[in-house]
Amino acid sequence: MSSALRYFLYVRKSTEGEDHQIKSLEDQDSVLKALARRDGLRLIERFAEARSAKKPNNRPEFERMLSMLQQGKADAILCWHINRLSRNPIESGQLQWLLQQGVIKEIRTPDRVYRPEDNALLMAVETGMANQYVRDLSNDLRRAASEKADRGWYPHRSKHGYLVNPETKDIEANPKTFPLLRQAWENLASGAFTVPQVGQQLTEWGLRVKANRTKRIQPMSRSTLYRLFSEPFYMGYFRFKGELLPGKHPAMVSKAEFEAVQRIIKRKAKTKPQRKAFAFTGFIRCGTCGCLDLPPL
């Protein structure tokens, strides 16, 4: 039967912590294509994405694959493990329903084959285990973050100017970027420079950061600079669960310097030019040339 089926190959690797033991997309590809050659499986199209499956409607390629299956463009799925297809009960139920209705005639992994006539309990148990794994992992991560915060360590990714010691896992000053940002704070606190001017200085000094979305290496954006200069992390504190907690990481500025910068930023924000509203703007024209008569600035 398998030789007559048309397979979609689906590979997925989450960018979150749930998949730290799962093979890379390339490794999954290699194993599955070797399996297809060995068993004479007809591969129609490959779908790949680096996204989490713990929440529904988060994977465009997965949704496109299901849509094409429902259109009859293929009738089977080849994947590394059933948990590559779903780790949440909504999409697991969708897969099971399509399998039971015969829309999907087979889901094949290196270890197991799922077919419409099989007992639905087995697949339900395995997808349920995948979902429970994510829930347990999420609880474990929250618990670990709370414990780390209680010990005085920021429990998330380090801020600009810092790095995580690979051995102790503590947050330390980055020897390359910490001094540059420290000088930027001093320049801004002096009142002689604006945030954009300090940003230009950092660019000239060679500071580059990785953009969150594109991952491109680029100069620090103005919005990032304003967030940085408003972040209490740099005076030795950090926010966690709505509280401001003292941290054990090295402070970049003193509390007095931090507060001075906040006053400067707020003062700059209040000095924006104001426009006056005039009741007849746009209605009065010059009697000689016919142009609009503009109010004085």
The phi and psi torsions of 114 (rounded to 5 degrees) equal: -110, 130
What 3 state SS string does 30-75 have? HHHHHHHHHHCCEEEEEEEECCCCCCCCCCHHHHHHHHHHHCCCCC
Residue 295 has pLDDT above 60, yes or no: no
In a domain, 72, yes or no: yes
- Asked if the structure places residue 283 within a domain, the reply is no
> In whole angstroms, what is the distance from residue 237 CA to residue 153 CA?
9
Pick the residue with more confidence: 119 or 203? 203
Q: Are 17 and 124 in the same domain?
A: yes
What pLDDT is recorded for position 205? 95
Do 76 and 174 sit in the same domain of this protein?
Answer: no
Distance, CA of 190 to CA of 158 (rounded, Å)? 27
pLDDT at 216: 85
Contact partners, residue 256, CB within 8 Å, separation at least 6:
none
Residue, of 284 and 256, whose pLDDT is higher = 256
Pairwise CA distance, residues 21 & 198, whole Å:
43
127 and 9 together in one domain: yes
Pairing verdict, β 76-79 and 106-108: parallel
DSSP strand pairing (76-79 vs 6-12): parallel
In a domain, 147, yes or no: no
Of 18-27, 117-126, 270-279, least confident by mean pLDDT is 270-279
Which pTM was predicted? 0.53
Mean pLDDT calculated for residue range 90-117 = 91
Question: Is residue 103 a contact partner of residue 112, using CB atoms and an 8 Å limit?
Answer: no
- For the chain, the 3-state helix, strand and coil shares in percent, each to the nearest 5, are 45, 15, 40
Both tokens of 79, joined, read: 């994947």
Location of structure tokens 């972040």 = 231
Report the number of distinct structural domains present in the chain: 2
How far apart are the C-alpha atoms of 200 and 180, rounded to whole Å?
Answer: 12
Q: What CATH number has the domain bearing residue 167? A: 3.90.1750.20
**What six digits make up the tokens of 48?**
């790949």
Where residue 146 falls among pLDDT bands split at 50, 70, 90?
A: confident
- Calpha distance 73→207 (Å, rounded): 50
Domain housing 218: 162-270
Q: Compute the average pLDDT of residues 280-294.
A: 55
Condensed to tens digits (0 to 9), the pLDDT of residues 2-56 reads 568 999 999 998 876 545 556 788 989 999 999 999 999 999 999 999 998 888 9
Residues 7 and 128 in one domain: yes
N- to C-terminal Cα separation, the chain: 82
Q: So what's the pLDDT on residue 147?
A: 87
- Residues 102 and 175 placed together within one structural domain of the fold: no
Binned at pLDDT 50, 70 and 90, residue 78 comes out as very high
Report phi then psi at 243, rounded to 5.
-115, 150
Residue 36 lies in a domain: yes
* Per-residue model confidence (pLDDT) at position 99: 92
Both structure tokens of 108: 């094949």
Residue 179 lies in a domain: yes
Residues 18 and 120 in one domain: yes
